[in-house]
Amino acid sequence: MIKISKKILRFIVIMLIITTNGCKSGDKDISYNELLNFQSTHKIKNLNLEKSLYQVLNDTTNYSKYDFPILLIISKKMPNKDELCISKTDYNIFKSSRPETFDKLIGYSNYEGIPVLLFGDNNKAIIRLENIDFYNILGKMPEYGPDNPPIIFEPKMKCYEEQQ
C-alpha cells in the first residue's frame, strides 16, 4: 500500500478542485468539507486575535458548538487602530444569505482546525499573507429578487479595537 503525506494529499485535493472548477473566480461553491482541505492564504500573527478566536470557539452560549467556520472582519478605523469583529456561523446559511458586509473575501486561514474566512482590510500586523494562490471559495453574492427574497442574517459578533 502506498503512503501519501497529508501535504501531498491536500495538494492533490486542491488541484482536483481547481481543475474541475476551471478558474480562480470561485464560480463553484465550495463545501465546508472542501474548505477544510484548503491551505491558508494568511497566517494569524496577533496574540490578542488568537485569544479572541479562542473565546469565540469556547463560547457555546453565544456561538454554535458545532464546527462552523469563523468569520473575521478587519476594518481600518484610524491610521494606527483597527476594529476586529469575529463570529462563528453555519457555513451553508452564510454562503446563501450573506449580507454585503461579507462581499469581499480577502483570504482564509485556520485556527485550531477551524477555517477562518477573512474579510475587510488586510493588516500585516494582524495577519500575514502566505505565498498561496487565493480562490474565492464563497462564489458570487446571492442575487435577491421576488423569487429569492433576502433573509435577515445577523450573526453575533465579538468586536474589539486593536492598536498597532
Q: What is the pLDDT of residue 116?
A: 92
Residue 65 covered by a domain: yes
Contact 15, 8 (CB under 8 A): no
Q: What is the pLDDT of residue 52?
A: 92
**Residue 3 pLDDT > 50:** yes
Residue 22 covered by a domain: no
Q: What is the pLDDT of residue 59?
A: 87
β-pair partners for 78: 81
Contact 45, 123 (CB under 8 A): no
Residue 78 covered by a domain: yes
Residue 5 covered by a domain: no
Q: What is the pLDDT of residue 11?
A: 52
Residue 71 covered by a domain: yes
Q: What is the DSSP string of 109-156?
A: EEETTEEEEEEE---TTTEEE-S-----TT-SPPPPBTTBPPP-----
Residue 95 covered by a domain: yes
Host domain of residue 95: 41-134+150-163
Nearest to 137 by CA among 97, 107, 99: 107
**Residue 17 pLDDT > 70:** no
Secondary-structure percent of the chain, ordered helix, strand, coil, rounded to 5: 25, 25, 45
49 against 11, higher pLDDT: 49
Residue 32 covered by a domain: no
Residue 24 covered by a domain: no
Number of structural domains in the chain: 1
